[in-house]
Amino acid sequence: GQKGSELPPNYFIEISRLSALLRNEIGQLIENIGAERIVFGTGIPFKYPDPSLVKLEVLEISEEEKEMIRWKNAAKLLGIA
């Protein structure tokens, strides 16, 4: 597949509803497309976000990458950062 830098700049993946994914699968996703292309939405009111947040917290990625996924990427995408 394409690396994140080869994807159109408006392609992002939102991971809060990916509850079936295992920790290392999310890690592989980050490795393949880059943390800068992943955002975390709450899924509220259809899903309680805590289980997905736990999966994000236990990933073996930098704190900066976690911050990007938690909110910085979405803020940049929405033009509020």
pLDDT digits (tens, 9 = 90+) for 16-47: 776 555 666 778 888 889 999 999 887 777 77
Entry pTM: 0.76
- Beta-carbon count within 10 A of 24 CB: 11
Q: Which one has a higher pLDDT value, 76 or 29? A: 76
CA distances for 59 relative to 14, 25, 40, 75, 78, angstroms: 16, 10, 14, 22, 25
Can you give the pLDDT at residue 69? 93
Mean pLDDT of the chain: 80
Strand partners, 38: 13
Q: Is the pLDDT of residue 57 over 90?
A: no
